[in-house]
Chain A
Amino acid sequence: MFFLAALGALGGAVGVVAMRNPFYGVLALIVHLFSLAVLFLLLSAAFVAAAQVVVYAGAVMVLYVFVVAYVGGDTESAWEPIPGQRFLAPLIGAALFIELSVAVLGSSLLALGTEGPDVAPGFGDPAAIGKLLLEDFLLPFEASSILLLLAAVGAVVLAGRRERVDDAPVPGSAGTPGESRPAGPGTGAPQGAAR
């Protein structure tokens, strides 16, 4: 079971990195996320697995799909402007992997060699997680809610149409009712001259 899930995770990861078309990349990531959920289940983290599927693979990925559909997926050009980047990146990736593995495996954590202690049947249940969230980790819980709020506000701000600062060079961009509005301060000079 483990190996299947692991393969799926790896395959998804490689797919994200390697796919040219971003849409396929998103799909690869979804596969990866599902495989991770299975791995979580194997680790007796039922709630986390569920949250992964619902929140991550569900909401977040849907968001990605929307954006990729909106933005479109251009394939990137092959030419690499930064010298040495293509060459160094895999090297460093490999180095990173080796170091992390060595760090973990070479450590004297004996428990790594086991499957872990025996746990009660309710390990990883929503009830148990919820209890922890609301008792021991109340502060992080509240803080994350504030973070979510901030993110929502930020998203609205980013997405909102600001007539004054919109310096799109071509009038009539998607859905602008401000075409007949006069150019306010801050718009580029060419636009003003054109008027």
Chain B
Amino acid sequence: MNIEWYIVLSSLLFATGAMGILIRRSPVIILLCLELMLNAGNLALVAFSRMVGNQEGQVFAIVVMVVAACEVVIGLGLIVAIFRRKLPLDVDQLRELRG
């Protein structure tokens, strides 16, 4: 397939992930949508790397994966900590930082 299909798919996935963040209220789901967006980015990276013809994009994609993993760890740790304090797991109700 032409590379442009991959790119279009990647942007579609990215937009879907963004929309998910805006719509959902559970922090777990929001993190999942974040994963979506990161993966969409990975797809774009790999596609371009194939288009250009060298593997630097793939290396980048691996680093992105590492970063995503770290972020998931911290995010899930936060969610567990919130849960342990018996606070509601709802982004809209965790709003003490306001003006």
Q: Answer yes or no: A and B touching, Cβ < 8 Å.
A: yes
- Near A by CB (< 8 A), chain B positions 17-70 give 17-20, 22-26, 28-29, 31-33, 35-36, 39, 42-43, 46-47, 49-53, 55-56, 58-59, 61-63, 65-70
Q: Give A132 Cβ to nearest chain B Cβ, in Å.
A: 5
Report how far A124 CA is from B63 CA in the complex, Å. 15
Q: Which of B7, B43, B72 contacts A104 (CB 8 A)?
A: B7
CB distance from A163 to the nearest CB of B (A): 13
- Contact check, B81 vs A111: say whether CB atoms are below 8 A apart: no
CA distance A150 to B77 in the complex (A): 13
Which of the residues A6, A17, A105 comes within 8 Å of B23, measured between beta carbons?
A: A17
Which B residue's beta carbon lies closest to that of A90?
B19
- Residue interface mask A150-182, B partner, CB < 8 A = 1: 111011001100000001111001100000000
Known A6-B9, A60-B69, A117-B53; judge A159-B15 contact (CB<8 A): no
Complex: A47 Cα to B57 Cα, angstroms: 12
Whether B28 and A71, one on each chain, are in contact in the complex, defined by CB atoms closer than 8 angstroms, is yes
Q: Is the CB of A64 within 8 A of B70?
A: no
The answer on a CB contact under 8 Å between B13 and A13 is: yes
Number of interface residues of B (CB under 8 A): 71
Do A85 and B23 touch (CB < 8 A)? yes
A-B contact count (CB 8 A): 240
Q: Is the CB of B84 within 8 A of A168?
A: yes
Known A104-B4, A117-B53: A150·B58 in contact at CB below 8 Å: no
Q: Are B55 and A124 in contact (CB under 8 A)?
A: yes
Cα–Cα distance between A144 and B92 once the two chains are bound (Å) = 33
Pair A173/B86 contact, Cβ less than 8 Å = yes
Segment 39-84 of A: residues with Cβ below 8 Å from B: 39-40, 42-45, 47-48, 51-52, 55-56, 59-60, 63-64, 67-68, 70-71, 73-74, 76, 81-82
Determine if B4 and A105 form an interchain contact, defined as CB atoms under 8 angstroms apart. yes
Q: Contacts A81-B92, A89-B23: A111 and B51 contacting too (C-beta < 8 A)?
A: yes
Q: Please determine whether B46 and A26 come into contact, CB atoms closer than 8 angstroms.
A: no
Contact A71 B79 (CB under 8 A): yes
13 more contacts with CB within 8 A, not counting A48-B46, A90-B19, A168-B85, are A10-B12, A17-B23, A17-B33, A25-B32, A32-B39, A52-B65, A63-B72, A64-B76, A109-B51, A112-B2, A114-B3, A144-B63, A158-B78
